[in-house]
C-alpha cells in the first residue's frame, strides 16, 4: 500500500506539471479550376502539327497543381517560411503555458524581455534552426485527407487555444497566397513565351494558334487575380477550442495505478514463493 501511495503521489505531481494543450481544426476543400486544358486540347487537334513546328507544346496543363498544393501544406519549406516570415519562432518553439489569456514562455530558453534565445539550450546556436522549427511544428500539426470527398482536415495543438486557431487560419491564408503567386509567375512565363513566338513566326496559321493561346492565358490570369481563395476554400473554419485535448490526466493516472498495482502484486507473489522455497 505504501508503494501504491508513493506512486500515486509521484504520478499526480508529474501530471500537475504538464501544461494543458488545446487542439483546433479547420476543414478545407480543394478548388477545382476551369483551366485552359480544354482549350489547349481543342487547339491541339486542330493545329497540333503547326504548333509543334513552332516549338509550342499544346499538351501542357496544370493538372498537378492540386497535388502540389496539398503536398505544400506539410512541406518543410512552406512551414519554416510561414514561421519565420510571421516571427512565430518563440510561439512555436518556446511556449510553455497559457495564463490569463497570455502565452507564457520558457525563460530558460527564450528571454522575452530582451527577445533573445539562450544559446546554451540550443547547442551554441543563436536561434532555432530550420530543422528545429520543422520538427517542433510537425509534432503538433497534421493534415489528413478524406479519400471519399477530397477534403483536408488540418489540426494544430498548442498551449494557447487562441494561437491554435490563429495558426490554422494563417496556414489557410498563406497556402492560397503562395499558390496564387506561383500560378501568376507560371502564367507570366507562358505569356512571355507565346508573345515572343508570335512575334517571330511568319506563318499565318501558327500565329492564329498563338493568338488563341495568348487569349486563353490572359483569361486564365484574370481568374487567378479575381478568385478570393485560389487553391482551397473553407468548409469549416478554425475555432478556439474550449476543452483541452491533452494531457488525459485521469486516464494516465488510472494506467499508472494499474501498472503499479500489478508490479506490487507480482512482487508480493514472488516474495511469498521465495520464502516458501527457502523453508
Report which of 91, 112, 113 is spatially closest to residue 159, judged by C-alpha positions: 91
Residue 141 · residue 76 · CB < 8 Å: no
Rg (CA), the chain: 29
Q: Is residue 274 a part of any domain in this protein?
A: no
pTM of the full structure: 0.75
Give the Cα separation of 95 and 139 in Å (integer). Answer: 14
Q: Is 69 exposed, middle or buried (0-12, 13-18, 19+ CB in 10 A)?
A: buried
pLDDT confidence of residue 19 = 85
Q: Which single residue is written with the C-alpha cell 532555432?
A: 128
- Find all residues with CB under 8 Å of 110, minimum gap 6, and list them: 90, 93, 94, 116, 117, 118
Q: Is residue 57 a part of any domain in this protein?
A: yes
Give the Cα separation of 216 and 195 in Å (integer). Answer: 13
Q: Is residue 271 a part of any domain in this protein?
A: no
Helix or strand (DSSP H, E) at 185: helix 161-200
Q: Is residue 269 a part of any domain in this protein?
A: no
- Rounded to a whole number, what is the distance in angstroms from the first to the last CA of the chain? 26
**What's 186's domain CATH number?**
3.30.1890
Chain centre to alpha carbon of residue 139? 11
Q: Which domain holds residue 156?
A: 20-246
Distances (CA, A) of 263 to 1, 3, 7, 188: 12, 10, 11, 70
Give the Cα separation of 42 and 57 in Å (integer). Answer: 13
Q: Which single residue is written with the C-alpha cell 476543400?
A: 29
Q: Is residue 252 a part of any domain in this protein?
A: no
Give the Cα separation of 183 and 92 in Å (integer). Answer: 30
Q: Is residue 267 a part of any domain in this protein?
A: no
Q: Is 150 left (phi over 0), alpha (psi -120 to 50) or beta?
A: left
Per-residue pLDDT of the chain (279 residues; tens, 9 = 90+): 555 555 555 555 454 456 899 999 999 999 986 544 444 445 444 444 444 544 445 444 455 888 999 999 999 999 999 999 999 999 999 999 999 999 999 999 999 999 999 999 998 999 999 999 999 999 999 999 999 999 999 999 999 999 999 999 999 999 999 999 999 998 888 888 888 888 887 777 778 888 888 888 888 888 888 888 999 999 999 999 999 887 654 555 555 656 666 666 666 666 656 666 665
Q: Is residue 10 a part of any domain in this protein?
A: no
Q: Is residue 2 a part of any domain in this protein?
A: no
Give the Cα separation of 45 and 10 in Å (integer). Answer: 76
Q: Into how many domains does the chain fold? A: 1
Q: Which three cell numbers stand for residue 161?
A: 487555444
Amino acid at each position: 500500500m505504501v508503494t501504491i501511495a508513493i506512486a500515486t503521489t509521484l504520478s499526480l505531481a508529474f501530471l500537475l506539471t504538464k501544461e494543458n494543450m488545446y487542439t483546433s481544426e479547420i476543414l478545407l476543400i480543394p478548388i477545382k479550376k476551369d483551366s485552359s486544358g480544354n482549350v489547349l486540347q481543342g487547339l491541339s487537334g486542330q493545329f497540333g502539327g503547326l504548333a509543334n513546328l513552332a516549338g509550342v507544346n499544346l499538351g501542357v496543363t496544370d493538372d498537378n497543381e492540386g497535388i502540389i498544393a496539398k503536398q505544400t501544406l506539410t512541406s518543410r519549406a512552406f512551414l519554416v517560411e510561414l514561421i519565420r516570415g510571421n516571427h512565430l519562432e518563440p510561439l512555436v518553439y518556446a511556449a510553455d503555458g497559457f495564463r490569463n489569456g497570455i502565452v507564457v514562455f520558457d525563460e530558460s530558453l527564450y528571454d522575452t524581455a530582451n527577445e533573445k534565445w539562450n544559446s546554451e539550450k540550443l547547442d551554441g546556436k543563436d536561434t532555432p534552426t530550420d530543422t528545429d522549427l520543422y520538427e517542433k511544428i510537425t509534432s503538433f500539426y497534421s493534415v489528413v485527407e478524406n479519400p471519399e470527398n477530397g477534403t483536408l482536415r488540418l489540426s494544430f495543438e498548442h498551449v494557447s487555444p487562441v494561437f491554435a486557431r490563429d495558426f490554422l487560419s494563417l496556414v489557410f491564408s498563406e497556402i492560397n497566397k503562395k499558390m496564387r503567386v506561383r500560378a501568376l509567375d507560371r502564367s507570366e512565363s507562358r505569356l512571355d513565351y507565346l508573345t515572343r513566338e508570335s512575334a517571330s513566326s511568319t506563318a499565318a496559321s501558327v500565329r492564329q494558334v498563338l493568338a488563341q493561346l495568348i487569349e486563353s492565358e490572359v483569361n486564365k490570369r484574370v481568374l487567378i487575380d479575381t478568385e478570393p481563395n485560389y487553391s482551397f476554400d473553407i468548409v469549416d473554419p478554425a475555432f478556439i477550442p474550449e476543452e483541452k485535448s491533452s494531457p488525459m490526466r485521469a486516464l494516465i493516472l488510472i494506467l499508472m495505478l494499474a501498472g503499479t498495482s500489478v508490479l506490487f502484486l507480482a512482487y508480493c507473489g514472488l516474495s511469498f514463493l521465495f520464502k516458501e522455497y527457502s523453508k
